[in-house]
Structure 1
Amino acid sequence: MARGGQGLARVAVVVRTGAAPLWWCGVVAAGVGVLVPGLTGRRIGDMAGAALFIVAAAVVAYARRTRYAALARSAARAGKHDVLQGRAVTVRNWRRAHRWWLVLAFAAALGSAFAAPAAGGMLLAGAGAGPRLKAAWLGRRERADDVLLWVRVDWLGKRAGAPAGKPVKGYRGTGLAAGDAAPGGARCRTDALV
């Protein structure tokens, strides 16, 4: 980067990126798990799975919110030499760094069906719903503050870590028109730009 600029990734995009793969792995694992009678039986497995889904979604959605809020309040303005990373690049980097964790989580959810049908898959799906809820909360905050939040790519590390982890010292902010993702990390709608 020229003249001291930093590579920046959208905070909401990093948060939201894991939602879809976790959700779909969980849905498939729960669907396959329903076919297996399991040790506890389908009814107990389904009820346990529903409870695990709600708990996982709530825990993931509310985890570290105070840290995110504190970093957002102290966000510095992004410099003109900072390089804004595209949404597709952020998604690709996160999924590449976490692909084996996703495979292991999917295998564990499938294996748990022999004990409690569908419960492991629904837990995984809940872990996928949580980041989407957190990204939606970040999007509402970005709209209210009229600023998009960015985090330095080098603070995320090679494993594309959490945007509110220990290495993260602060966020940078830009206007709502910067980057190629809407507030909350979703894709920008092309019809809204025309």
Structure 2
Amino acid sequence: MAVVVRAGAAPLVRLGVLAAVIGAVPEGLTGRLVGAAAGAALFVAAAAVTALAHRSRYAALAAGATRAGRYDLLQDRAVTVRNWRRGHRWWLLLAFVVALGSAFALPVAGGLLLAGAGAGLRLKAGWLGRRERALDALLWVRVDWLDRRGGAPAGKAVRGLRSTGVAAGDATPGGARRRATASV
């Protein structure tokens, strides 16, 4: 589940920082200093709202997780990330264009807002990772409950979560990529 949450964090942060850097070029209606200050406030607000949104739903799903069965379809981390990013690429592009366009009114602010949303997703994935470590299990959303675009990990279609041991799959708690360990 944390993999789906974390899938959008990196593109949002990268596009947000790029939009903020490019957005610093025009003077805008308010000036760069005001835009940067507003952008910093928007970054913090977006990160907090994104990180705290739907926590009760995530907690309820995690508390009701059942052991993954033989016929449950669980997906690799790389496939999940690729599906999410492909399914949301037009929304990411639209958000980037809007952040760039907002620079003519309030420089830097739109890009920092976008980056704040990505940082909030990263914080939420970290929170989910701590829950997974406390449960000593990885939490998974069944593939057939996510739509082909990646879906929402706590959306209406998700009726419950599946759990496996922390050594299962190619992701660590929190959705990070599992590093290969050297055998001795």
Question: What is the identity, as a one-letter code, of the residue corresponding to 2:38?
Answer: A
Q: Which residue of 2 aligns with 1:37?
A: 27
Coordinate RMSD, CA, aligned? 1.2
Cα 1:192/1:102, change in 2 over 3 Å: farther
Structure 1 distance, partners of 2:59, 2:156, is: 15
Identical amino acids, percent of aligned pairs: 71
Q: Which residue of 1 aligns with 2:160?
A: 170
Q: CA deviation at 1:84?
A: 2.6
Matched, 1:86 2:76: yes
Cα deviation digits, residues 110-167 of structure 1 (max 9, x gap)? 0000000000000000011011100000000000110110111122113322110111
Q: Which residue of 2 aligns with 1:75?
A: 65
Q: Which of the numbers 52, 66, 73 marks the counterpart of 2:42? A: 52
Q: CA deviation at 1:192?
A: 7.0
Structure 2 distance, partners of 1:121, 1:162, is: 24
Question: What is the identity, as a one-letter code, of the residue corresponding to 1:155?
Answer: W
Question: What is the identity, as a one-letter code, of the residue corresponding to 2:94?
Answer: L
TM-score, normalised on structure 1?
Answer: 0.92
> Which runs of structure 2 are paired with 1:1-194 in the superposition (5 Å)?
11-191=1-181
- Give the secondary-structure state (helix, strand or coil) at the position aligned to 1:114: coil
Cα 1:69/1:24, change in 2 over 3 Å: same
Structure 1 distance, partners of 2:93, 2:60, is: 34
Structure 1 distance, partners of 2:167, 2:53, is: 28
Question: What is the identity, as a one-letter code, of the residue corresponding to 1:173?
Answer: S
Cα 1:16/1:175, change in 2 over 3 Å: same
Cα deviation digits, residues 41-98 of structure 1 (max 9, x gap)? 0111000000000000011101001100000000011002333311110011000100
- Give the secondary-structure state (helix, strand or coil) at the position aligned to 1:45: helix
Q: Which moved more, 1:30-39 or 1:76-85?
A: 76-85
Structure 1 distance, partners of 2:41, 2:182, is: 38
Does the 8 Å CA contact 2:141/2:158 hold for their aligned counterparts?
A: yes
Q: CA deviation at 1:175?
A: 0.6
TM-score, normalised on structure 2?
Answer: 0.97
Structure 1 distance, partners of 2:74, 2:132, is: 17
Structure 2 distance, partners of 1:182, 1:167, is: 25
- Give the secondary-structure state (helix, strand or coil) at the position aligned to 1:164: coil
Structure 1 distance, partners of 2:124, 2:136, is: 18
Structure 1 distance, partners of 2:181, 2:102, is: 44
* Number of aligned residue pairs: 184
Q: Show structure 2 runs of 5+ residues with no match.
A: none
Cα 1:184/1:29, change in 2 over 3 Å: same
Structure 2 distance, partners of 1:69, 1:15, is: 14
